[in-house]
Chains A and B, each alone.
Chain A
Amino acid sequence: MNMRFDPFVIPFNIGLYFILVYVVTRCVIWFRDLSRTDKLRLQRGFFGVAFVLSLKEIFMESLIHRKILKTNIRLGYMHMSLAFGWFLLILFGTIEADIFGAKHLNAPYKAIFFRFFNPDHGRTGFEAAYGFLMDLILAFILSGLLLAVTKRFYSKIVGLKKTTRLKITDKIALTSLWLIFPSRLLAESFTCGAYGTGSFLTGSLGAWLATFLPAQQLAYPFWWLYSISLGTFFILLPITRYMHIPTELFLIFMRNSGIKTGDHSGTYTEVQTYSCSSCGICIDACQLNFSAGITNIQSAYLMKAIRNKDDVSEIADNCLMCGRCDQKCPVGIELSPIRMIQRRGGEAENDIRNIYKGYFRSRQTIISEKAIGSSNFNFLPETDPEKADILYFAGCMTHLTPAIKNSMIKIFEASGVKYSFIDEQGGVCCGRPLMLAGQDKEARELINYNSQMIWKSGAHTLVTSCPICYKVFKESYYLDVEVLHHTQFIKRLIDDGSVKMNFLHKKVVYHSPCELGRGSGVYDEPKEVLNHVSRLERSNFEDGNSLCCGGSLANMKISSQNKKKIALDAANELTKNNPDILATACPLCKKTFSAVTYARVADISEIVAEALIVKPVNKNSGSHINSIKELANI
């Protein structure tokens, strides 16, 4: 026997076709809103390698969830079993329906509810084997589901300290999601029980149930339940976090086509915010969470707040901008840039939220451009710096840690390069702090002022001791001057033999400053320099995973007590194996750590200066000229 159609599939069908149409429309809208260049990028990507890469990434990340697996195996398995398992179920279900169905190319519901329409299928041979496979996949999903359910009620099990809080629609969607597979299990089992078919899971469960229950009658309602939960889930999808499932695919494709977040919100930001699955990995990565117990400002919450169009100013400002979450985000959302966009923006208008708005969202843009008023730095004096090849800009913070400044002077003198210390008498701020406060207009004034000075000096290289300055000089100053952090500069001096130094028999552990490491990707030079002069030991927090000292200028809101807590935890981590020196490459990190640890905290420049063999340098020796050339990469 073989039925054509049954009314219970209607909910499923409605849901399915609705979500298909919806997702397509959203993608079209997003595409339409893209800038011209991004449109081109996307088109090129579609016919290029980007497409292939995307498919691969989609498979690896959206189905297998490799990244999550790496950071947290149980959480990874949970996501994988649900995503990948369901994918397989659909895939093989369709094939099954195609092979064994009454005819080829069935409507989707035929595949999803195959067992209903072919109740006595799968008794023998290949059919049975195939049935076994299907049961296996279902079991795989259910195992994941089990984890998911327990996670909700006891998140420790999946190794998450903090799990994201939900809004009501999320709750409904979640329940429907949870109901999908159990209801399918029961529906199939009852059917199998009634017809004595089915494999190890559905078959045996069905047979057992049939012993004491009227399987024939009970199967039908469960098929209804199965269909309804599918339908509900699909309908609710757009207004819940589960929208991340379809959005992420689009995101991956955009990213692979080379689209970047940039300074202003737009489609890409929007797509990213919707791609956040609120997995909560960022919450675990955040030091404000695990050191200071601040648990409502992490990126997952920021994304949610943006999606809900809440006023995010409080959340956006309360962040060290250390970038640890960017590194850890399994979806690869550019969290910090998005946060910066929020800081630049004024308060987003609080528009009434309702179901309609949920489905047909207005564009994700900052309403009012943050109005700080015309800033007023016209009191700054005219600059006329002395001419020099190489400029040394110590930076505000370095003036509060004179040891660094003096060490650098010592190193400069020893190397014999002709340099000029432009902010010796205390200079003008580099502008980064203002930027971090979202006050770009003001920052730009300072940038222009400093640019003037640098340009007038006619230098070809700018060395700075402060990673904060370094980042802004490199990214936001339009100078044809090579910007080096002093660690990079010292590395060069060592390489071209301009300075010689002893080996200090000291155990050193290196703390990579956020702005230098994650912020500017300078990981190696500092460590190479340290390796050159001392015994550099590894810590559990290297490179991308390195901690923040807590002193970050980026967080306007944090209290000094909480700063201390973070600094203390970080310092303790780094000094676990009692090194002789806790080395860093940032005056701010140094100052922050010195306050909380008994270990000696020193900037790399200090260690180098200590190891330096000061030899009289012949100022106009050829070698010296060369070294200058090399320095300038002429």
Chain B
Amino acid sequence: MVDDNMDRFGFTISTGRQIDYESNDRSIAEYILDKEPSFRLCIECGGCSATCTTGNFTGFSLRELNILIKRGENDKVRQNLKKCMLCGKCTLVCPRGVNTRNIVVLAKEAFQKSDEYAI
């Protein structure tokens, strides 16, 4: 269909980057919030991403993943989560005492449980 449009018109209707809060699925976030309330305390300071070992090698940012989970933008999270080495430096630097490692573990769990996202 899309290619078909390309042939006929030379372009297709672009899809926006806008997060549509209502239509997004935040079940993953709810699963985590339920089991790890400290998830709420994140103020997106980025300390975790700054110290992150994986972050040294890739664009992996736990801060970003945290917020994407909360917004229900789960695809990117699913693709990146497994890069985490669980080394725990993030937990050590977090100024809000967020149990970051557990968030990663729970997120993996949650994805595992919801078929549509299974890693």
Contact = CB atoms under 8 A, between A and B. Distances in A.
Say if the two chains contact directly (CB < 8 Å).
yes
Interface in A419-474: 426-429, 431, 433-434, 437, 439, 442, 446
Contacts of B86: 429, 433-434, 437, 439, 553
Given A371-B112, A372-B112, A560 B97 contact: yes
A442 B87 contact: no
Interface string B80-119: 0011011111001100010101100100100010000011
Q: Which of B51, B85, B105, B112 has the most CB of A within 10 A?
A: B85
Nearest to A433: B86
A428 B57 CA distance: 10
B38 interface: yes
Contacts of A372: 82, 108, 112, 119
A427 B108 CA distance: 24
B56 interface: yes
Contact of A400 (B92, B99, B112, B118): B92
B39 to A, nearest CB: 12
A556 interface: yes
A307 B83 CA distance: 36
B58 interface: yes
B27 interface: no
Contacts, number: 78
A426 B56 contact: yes
A210 interface: no
Nearest to A314: B35
Indicate the member of B51, B82, B87, B97 with the most A CB atoms within 10 Å. Answer: B87
B83 A376 contact: yes
Interface in A364-395: 371-377, 379-381
The size class of the interface chain B forms with chain A is 20 to 34
Contacts of B93: 400
A463 B4 CA distance: 62
B88 A396 contact: yes
Nearest to A446: B85
A375 B82 contact: yes
Nearest to B106: A556
B115 to A, nearest CB: 12
A83 interface: no
Contacts of A375: 82-83
A350 interface: no
The interface centre, meaning the residue of A372, A381, A561 with most chain B CB atoms within 10 A of its CB, is A372
A397 interface: yes
A559 interface: yes
Given A373-B118, A379-B83, A396 B53 contact: yes
Contact of A373 (B38, B53, B54, B119): B119
B53 A429 contact: yes
A400 B57 contact: no
6 closest Cβ contacts across the A-B interface? A560-B97, A373-B119, A429-B85, A429-B87, A433-B86, A396-B87
8 contacts: A376-B83, A396-B89, A429-B53, A433-B86, A442-B85, A556-B102, A559-B99, A560-B99
Given A400-B89, A429-B53, A556-B101, 16 more contacts: A372-B82, A375-B83, A379-B54, A400-B92, A428-B53, A429-B85, A429-B86, A433-B86, A433-B88, A433-B101, A437-B86, A439-B86, A556-B99, A558-B99, A559-B97, A560-B38
